[in-house]
Structure 1
């Protein structure tokens, strides 16, 4: 069950309603959902309008206005203060009505100021601009019809214009600030979503690299048992042991990856350490494991001591290339050449005879999703390098990768 948020919006509505929540826009006549902060602000605005109305009434009493006019002023002044509570639902309509009334009545001035400020905050300039212009135009009949006893008309008009423009500018500043806050929150949400997407891709790539290697080993040994049921007992026992070992390792790798997903915090605050990653120093062990599975792999490693991140990427490229060779080429010679130099690049080449890649020559060929070479290309590009694959005129299928090897490496790479 989805838990409602403090502002009354459910979680699945919050993302789309965020601009309205930040800008305080209840919609044209829509139901207003006030938070605790909104109630405090609305109460302060109501008291502010009442205060201005009270000060205007004291000044109006000193002018000895006619009794009917005073009665109309007091009624409209009280109603205008109460109408301030409707400013979130009908901000533009309220501001227009109060602006028209303020062209002659004085006690609606406090509520008119609040309504103008609300429109400036809640609506874009194409709406708030005309409302402000209307407030400026209503100053002319007010100054002419209701002259002040202690102030000339010119000064009274100037004071009214200054008040209207100040309130409008203040509202524009508040709106701009709220839009900036909303924009920053949107960027933060976008960055969090991008981080989650990259993490999912990393885990998916890790699962593909590891599990594809293990499962291809299982398929290779199971295929040997299927097509050679009359093999000596020692070879059958060795193949069964290899199947058991690789199945155990595959389950262990799967548990580690799922454990990272299971123990990750929903809000992303908890930092979960990565599982132990292979490096360039583990490449001979990978080759030896493939030889133990029956592959004919020759390793020509002409470099050592590469940074951890660089060595890990190269290890994964070789691992996936050997997995593809095992799935598509069968028991054919595979040559792996690793070379490079600090300050230039680290390169690897994995090749095998092309004729052996024909599916007709490989009984029980392991199906593939076609994502292996795509994943290798993406891994190389993410590391700042490049990868090429394809047939050569010499009749071989070759996978070549070049990864940059900077002179200076970060502490993370050297650990």
Structure 2
């Protein structure tokens, strides 16, 4: 439109309508040009492409009126009157020295432009679809690359929860997932080693427990076969163990006296309970004191009683009494209740811990004249003369228990022939502090 206005300025000044027609026809031949119109200073059509009959007329349509009133270049949207195509009309006033000599109007069709826009839109849509597809494929690949090791880790964790500690994951990358796989393998290896160590310890504990069970059966038989009564007290004076011979001599069962104070158990014979409590308090044993034991059923039996403190594995006096509250049954030996090397073999395995921590084992020896088997009892030590009523020093431990300090069940001499009064031997322990 600007070019047409420039070349039409001279013909408008000279009223050369032929030149104006030529200029309009030349512009109309260009692509997308719907029409070209040149108006004179009065608003009449000086030249028009395609419709020469309108030359000399004054257009009255709104589009033409806006074009005549425009003082500057103007772009307005309109439609072709015959085809109805959308058009863009470009209006350029022709002025000379500030005076308006005419107006140039050139209309361009929007068809090709709209076609190009539609084509561009289709291309953009296709590009968006392709981008989405490629992005989806790339995302799937990345997600698969990330999800596969994570899934392997999840499967490995599930296998470990089932106890399969030989699970290993090969790290495929050196990123965070790879480092996580390395950490997982290290964790699985540590768990496997720890479980192996636990299984080995469990196997060893089972073997030790079997050995303790055998030892318990052995010592049960030994304690059951002893003819001397053996009573063991803790540091508070409560009864811990009582063998069958002691049950027979005292007339009390183990279930009745376990956890009870010796003064309460021997309430019918206060001197026996006082002697035992004296040993518990002084931690000094007495040897072969003759006395009469009165049983709960009212019968009496002459006995000899000796007491001595028990020593722990480190040579100290034994500590507190059996675990648990007084009066509770003795607990079964656990894996930690291992027999120290210096515990005498006659100790009851089921009470091994209690015996090591108890205070006064007492030995009762029945000195009644009746009973043919009394003269054939086995002596663990050299014969001794029967002691007098004066206090005697505590019996020395036998050589087999040296280093441990634990009192042994050494049997003293029964005295002159025919003297078969029951004797009691007890051991007392000093406080570990």
Greater share of strand: 2
TM-score above 0.5: no
Q: Based on CA coordinates, which of the two structures has the bigger radius of gyration?
A: 2
Greater share of helix: 1
TM-score by length of 1: 0.29
